Amino acid sequence: MVYRLWTYLYYPIFSLMLFHFRDRFPQLNAYWDKYLPFQKRMEVSAKTILLEEGERSQNYIFIEKGCVRVFFNNNGDDKTVQFFFENEGLASLDSFMNDIPSLFSIETIEPSVLYLLPKKHVLQLMDEISHEAAFSKMAMQMTAMRQMHYMNEFISSIRDTAEQRYQNLLQDRPHIIQRVPQHYIASYLGVSKVHLSRIKSKLAKGKLHF
């Protein structure tokens, strides 16, 4: 569990770096302009595998439209680790940085519009902008935010029941409940589809108590 959380810790920063920091840091336009042509735009259907468990991660993925899940196989059962939506990015970090087989698969849940930036260009861009003080400060702030988010999820996975975690999703990330199929949510919570249905039924009847 700890490894799974830290593996995806830093990559949302790259999505901000490539697509959202342009307006905030116009002095870095030369960097954005240099690397935007290397991105590959893809329109894919739901259930498209973007990275297979055991493959080496070679691209950073940015989501313009759609939803993506990260999962691994556990004795024939898919275990969902995390969901990503519009204006977020991801890669299997350990695989991406160390050129080793990925422990996870990445798959679209909805029809999606994605941008892929090859590894060599990501690393070059990171190296080139690393000396920019203003950007480095913002990147550190975003890293701290993402670290807190994933550490909270890690603690919740140990401390809270499935019922509590589902309630947390309803309160803090309702878009997951609205957009993600129930069997993936059940996998994410670590329960069966039947158990999830019972949780939802009790919640609808006001009988869910923590």
Tens digit of each residue's pLDDT (9 = 90 or more) over 139-168: 677 667 767 776 777 777 777 888 989 998
Task: Name the residue with higher pLDDT: 25 or 184.
Answer: 184
Give the burial string for 60-96 (b: 16+ CB within 10 Å, else e): bbbbeebbbbbbeeeeeeeebbbbbbeebbbbbbbbb
Residue among 113, 127, 208 at smallest CA distance from 162: 208
- Confidence at residue 22, expressed as pLDDT on a 0 to 100 scale: 59
**How do residues 55-90 score in pLDDT, each as one tens digit?**
999 999 989 999 999 999 988 889 998 999 998 888
Task: Using the predicted structure, report yes or no on whether residue 199 has a pLDDT greater than 60.
Answer: yes
Entry pTM: 0.81
Tell me the fold of 2-132: Jelly Rolls (2.60.120)
- The pLDDT score that the predictor gives to residue 142 is 67
pLDDT digits (tens, 9 = 90+) for 102-153: 999 999 999 999 999 999 998 888 788 777 777 777 767 766 776 777 677 7
Do residues 32 and 67 touch, judged by C-beta distance below 8 A? no
% of the chain exceeding 70 in pLDDT = 82
In the predicted model, what is the mean pLDDT of the chain? 82
Q: What is the rounded CA–CA span in Å between residue 185 and residue 67? A: 13
Q: What is the pLDDT of residue 8?
A: 42
> For residue 30, what are its two tokens?
């030369």
